[in-house]
Structure 1
Amino acid sequence: MQPQVLPYPPLNRLPNGPSAAVQPNAPVTGRKRKRPHQYTVSYSEVQEVDSAGRVRDVIVIEDTPPPSTVSPATTHTQLYSASLQPPMYSDPIQTRSRAAAAAQALSASASSTTTAAPPTKKRKRDPVDVAGTAGKRPAVNGHLQSAASVNKSWASGSAAATDDASKGPVPCDDKEGHYIIVPDDMIARRYRTVRLLGQGTFGKVIEALDTDTNQRVAIKIIRAIPKYRDASKIEVRVLQKLKERDPTNKHKCIHLLHWFDHRNHICLVSELLGMCVYDFLKENEFAPFPRHHIQSFARQLLGSVAFLHELHLIHTDLKPENILLVNNGYKYVNVPGKRNAPPRLKKILDSTDIRLIDFGSATFEEEYHSSVVSTRHYRAPEIILGLGWSYPCDAFSLGCILVEFFTGVALFQTHDNLEHLAMMEQVMGKMPERFARAGARAKPEFFKEGSKLDWPKTKITSRQSRKEVRATKSLMELIPQTDGINKQFYDLVKRLLTFDPAQRITVKDALMHPYFSVRIADEPY
């Protein structure tokens, strides 16, 4: 059975103690504009002290842009998709002494210059901010422990011999603790690197060839920084439990094939999959998915998250970036242009099979809860208001994702807490009185006259912010009631996007919603 959820779980609930005292997070600055950004990334390390006097470090990342990667579906070499490109190796193998200096210079000068991002397209979505998550994002500069202290582990590693051995060990990390990726490098005497797939706050993800099985795999290489190593071990524990309880992968969560410690970097080996759903949306010019594809995505995602909840796990970072396509294949169809514009081409997936990934922030219900979780656009209102969180925060994130699949763009395009709550009221209606009173007690600065949201704040709220909130459409406007399919979809999303977590539909009950009994024909687009 689905574990019972308290109406308002206590903030930072500990297994055997009261809520923790929390130092305030660093303020968030900047605003979204509907044009390309030059993103800046910053983070703060907040210490949360529990009742036993133990200090817990929480990494709060603010305004982090989506990952900058080369998408497997659009990188072509000699007529092959990159994800299907046969391995091509240099002969002889490039030694680290010849490549480390160049690789380190590239890594230090830019987060992911080893792969060029696709041309930036306009997206009606501001950069996301993450609190304590391990998603794939550009690296954060500054305020990081030097990796020089961990380079001493190099001598005991398994590397190809270099022709400069007499000069001493060659560094394997850059100054931020990221592993330096060298083409054709051998990792753990088994995995030969092929290319960089992505780089994030917690490390890098590469494509590699498993020389034991001759299969392509993905390896997540964690930074050689103690706090990231510790977090990765929690992720390993979660992934091992998922595989143990679902060996055939019926519930479509990423499977951990192998993990090991390589030169002070925790490495997680998993199956090699396709691009993330966000990248497909971006490369498809943020065109909505067909309705039968949305139904398939919804059924799979709800099933995956229901499985997690049965194991007393909360994902806490559900978003399109953490949903991978198994197959990138697609076909083109002609769709009518807008406002008498000529028809245009739209990509339609051949398969909607997906996998849920990134369990670096997954939390067992009975264990410590950080105060802030989830990427901004998909963050539940109880988290913003500091009311504590549990399983329902995943359901809210899924509601946001399903609306994004239907419209093509993120539902809440903001990174300011009060503005975010105001947009929620535009989409979902006014907060229920009971929930608003609880929020006013926890965050009185967001309310006035008892339990009324204090929006807009006189002389503080900018004209642009007011305009953004007024332009936010209601859920009924976003999902027009044109037929029975849309009516059922609207009802499901409405139940997921409920302010009060005690009243929000559970993912297990959502799987039984009449929406999934409706047969949706394969529409042309």
Structure 2
Amino acid sequence: METQWITEFPHTNMDKRPRKRPRLNWDMPPPVPPPKVIPTIYGGQEFTTGVASNHGFSSLYYKAQPRNASPPWRNDDKDGHYVFAIGDNLTPRYRIMSKMGEGTFGRVLECWDNEKKEMVAIKIVRSIHKYREAAMIEIDVLQKLAKYDPSGTRCVQIRNWFDYRNHICIVFEKLGPSLYDFLRKNSYRSFPIDLVRELGRQLLESVAFMHDLRLIHTDLKPENILLVSPEYVRVPDYKLLSRSAKDGYYFKNLPKSSAIKLIDFGSTTFEHQDHSYVVSTRHYRAPEVILGHGWNYACDLWSVGCILVELCSGEALFQTHENLEHLAMMERVLGPLPQNMVTRSDRRAEKYFRRGVRLDWPEGATSRESMRAVWKLPRLQNLVMQHVDHSAGDLIDLLQGLLRYDPAERFKAREALRHPFFTRDLRRCGYPL
């Protein structure tokens, strides 16, 4: 079968994985459909309603304006988001081409840089004080990362930043899709183990780089790991060739390049800052955070372990929405929590244990559905062996080091990079399709 080279994602069979809580992505459609108006001409090109092939959402209409003119002043929406139209200028330098996504922090827009003659991604932060403050901290982190990694091989590069109509705007290089988006648009089919090895190595190198700078990311997840290139190849899925499937389902997509970069440093924390609050997205949150022990660098390594399992299986390891169920899932996959961690739980976490000794499960379960979600989970070793054909033993041993309950005993980033999973066959070059 001839390998096909493709530069954009198809938009079918994309969202079949059940999740108890939807997670924000950089390609979410706008919440309100655009008004119907007559197409206009701008710069010799006609713009009307259409589907952006890169992102899968309807374009917004705009009226023709002088090339470097600022758009008319518009009030922010009720949540403090900047209200824009396709074709608007963000300063004379940047012209809005499309919407890439939306999150708690604000919106990300694809823009044309008139000075550098390239596409960039601009994060427009909500005009709310706490988000503006968080954005300034993120800029500080990004500038520090750029100072010590001028080639920008590990983390997304900041190009510029400015304050526009009370919105902090951060200009980034434009990258490809996130690993989560790639999985989702590939019907949640797992990556080959040799690709997981290469992605994991780069992820750990980026985390080690941050930790060397006394920075803790605190929100590592597939959504915050972007492929550098959007290109991918379509190859036969040998796991399905022996099964009955619809036409086209015998194929899966793999990235043309395995190069990745970390993004979203809005929650990144310096070592000396307060570590008493809750961090990390639920599925990737370490046990010490849930139990109220405080946290440090090790919380990033727990997240890395969860991410590696997800890349191998196509599914988040802990698909949960509340703390007791989350702890029960951990015990189901990894074994009982250490007694010394249970006894040190803070007052908010004490309620999850019976007489301060045993997890209050299944007695404290909120529903039968919750109990079934826990009981269906296999042990870590069995889970890996269901999805990994070779290197399973090394991967299991690596994951057991990354997912140790006690953060003091958990692998550090550079220690993990020396693990046989990454070093046993140094002759590997790339990954087989």
TM-score scaled by length of structure 1: 0.69
The number of residues matched between the two structures is: 389
Q: CA deviation at 1:340?
A: 2.8
Give the equivalent residue in structure 2 for 1:160: 69
Q: Cα distance 1:396–1:35, how it changes in 2: closer, same or farther (>3 A)? A: closer
Q: CA deviation at 1:521?
A: 7.7
SS of structure 1 residue aligned to 2:391? helix
Give the equivalent residue in structure 2 for 1:66: 24
Which of the residues 202, 206, 209 maps onto 1:307?
209
In structure 1, C-alpha distance between the alignment counterparts of 2:181 and 2:196, rounded to whole Å: 16
Q: CA deviation at 1:253?
A: 0.6
Give the equivalent residue in structure 2 for 1:5: none
Which of the residues 194, 197, 201 maps onto 1:295?
197
Residue 388 of structure 1 pairs with residue 294 of structure 2: yes
SS of structure 2 residue aligned to 1:206? strand
Q: CA deviation at 1:161?
A: 6.1
Give the equivalent residue in structure 2 for 1:462: 367
Percent of pairs with identical residues: 46
After superposition, what is the alpha-carbon deviation per residue over 1:195-241, rounded to whole angstroms, capped at 9, x for unaligned?
Answer: 11111111111111111111111111111111111110000000011
**Mapped contact 1:181–1:196 kept (Cα < 8 A):** no
The root-mean-square deviation of aligned C-alpha atoms, in Å, is 2.9
Give the equivalent residue in structure 2 for 1:374: 280
Which of the residues 468, 471, 474 maps onto 2:376?
471
Q: Which runs of 5+ in 2 are unaligned?
A: 1-15, 30-39, 50-54, 59-66
Which of the residues 90, 110, 113 maps onto 1:207?
110
Q: Which runs of 5+ in 1 are unaligned?
A: 1-33, 40-62, 72-87, 103-114, 119-157, 163-168
Give the equivalent residue in structure 1 for 2:418: 512
Residue 447 of structure 1 pairs with residue 346 of structure 2: no
Give the equivalent residue in structure 2 for 1:90: 42
Q: CA deviation at 1:518?
A: 2.8
Residue 321 of structure 1 pairs with residue 279 of structure 2: no
Give the equivalent residue in structure 2 for 1:171: 74
Give the equivalent residue in structure 1 for 2:173: 271
Q: CA deviation at 1:436?
A: 2.2
Residue 231 of structure 1 pairs with residue 183 of structure 2: no
Counterpart residue type for residue 221 of structure 2: K
Residue 346 of structure 1 pairs with residue 255 of structure 2: no
Q: CA deviation at 1:404?
A: 0.1
Q: Cα distance 1:309–1:514, how it changes in 2: closer, same or farther (>3 A)? A: same
**Mapped contact 1:222–1:267 kept (Cα < 8 A):** yes
In structure 2, C-alpha distance between the alignment counterparts of 1:222 and 1:214, rounded to whole Å: 24
Q: Cα distance 1:161–1:339, how it changes in 2: closer, same or farther (>3 A)? A: closer
In structure 1, C-alpha distance between the alignment counterparts of 2:329 and 2:203, rounded to whole Å: 25
Q: CA deviation at 1:318?
A: 0.2
In structure 1, C-alpha distance between the alignment counterparts of 2:357 and 2:421, rounded to whole Å: 34
Q: Cα distance 1:215–1:521, how it changes in 2: closer, same or farther (>3 A)? A: closer
**Mapped contact 2:227–2:258 kept (Cα < 8 A):** yes
**Mapped contact 2:70–2:91 kept (Cα < 8 A):** no
Counterpart residue type for residue 65 of structure 1: R
SS of structure 2 residue aligned to 1:480? helix
**Mapped contact 1:302–1:511 kept (Cα < 8 A):** yes
After superposition, what is the alpha-carbon deviation per residue over 1:270-295, rounded to whole angstroms, capped at 9, x for unaligned?
Answer: 11111111000001100010111101
**Mapped contact 2:276–2:295 kept (Cα < 8 A):** no
